[in-house]
Amino acid sequence: MLKYNLIFMKSSNLYTAYLDFINEAAKPEESFEQFCKNRLAGATKITEMAKKKGGDALLTFHHFEVKLPIYSKASTGKFKLSEATTKLDSLVSKLNQSLSTTGEIKMTQVQFQKLVGLIEVWGELIIRFKQK
């Protein structure tokens, strides 16, 4: 069954779009805003494909959908490093607070996907912003 799932995943458009998204490399001459536009385009494509596919792919939809307004705002030059670090700290604290001492995560799958998506986008933008 696992072999079938891996073969299916590799042949799906969602899998290809996701690989394209995570394998994007920032070009040294690329501005921060252009980097954000590129990430927005990739995340939009994944969001649309995951929503269309439905089912379990909706978790991917929720994970990427929360990134869209952040990429959009950052792509127009409205990224503020201090705001981003404050948001990232708050989100990481929220994730830590959701973990119980028994290892249980006190949130739904959708809540978890949204939270981790937000942590990823803010962390990614902070790292990229500091590279410019």
pLDDT band at 3 (very low <50, low <70, confident <90, very high): very low
Quote the domain boundaries for residue 73: 2-131
Task: Look at residue 8 in the predicted model and tell me its pLDDT.
Answer: 42
- How many domains is the chain built from? 1
The residues, ordered by sequence, that sit 6+ positions from 122 with a Cβ below 8 Å of its Cβ are 70, 84, 87, 88, 91
Residues 77-109 pLDDT 10s = 999 999 999 999 999 999 999 988 888 899 999
Task: Look at residue 100 in the predicted model and tell me its pLDDT.
Answer: 84
* Cβ 117 vs Cβ 63: under 8 Å: yes
Tell me the average pLDDT of the chain. 86
- Say which residue the tokens 């670090």 belong to: 85
For the CA atoms of 109, 25, 92, 126, what is the dihedral angle to 10 degrees?
Answer: -150
Task: Look at residue 109 in the predicted model and tell me its pLDDT.
Answer: 95
Residues 57-75 pLDDT 10s = 999 999 999 999 999 999 9
* 31-35 own/partner pairs: CB under 8 Å, 24+ apart: 31/132, 32/74, 32/79, 32/128, 32/129, 32/132, 33/74, 33/75, 33/76, 33/77, 34/75, 35/128
Residue 92 has a CB neighbour count (10 Å cut-off) of 15
pLDDT band at 34 (very low <50, low <70, confident <90, very high): very high
Rounded mean pLDDT of 112-129?
Answer: 96
* Cβ 113 vs Cβ 59: under 8 Å: yes
Q: Is the pTM of this model over 0.85?
A: no
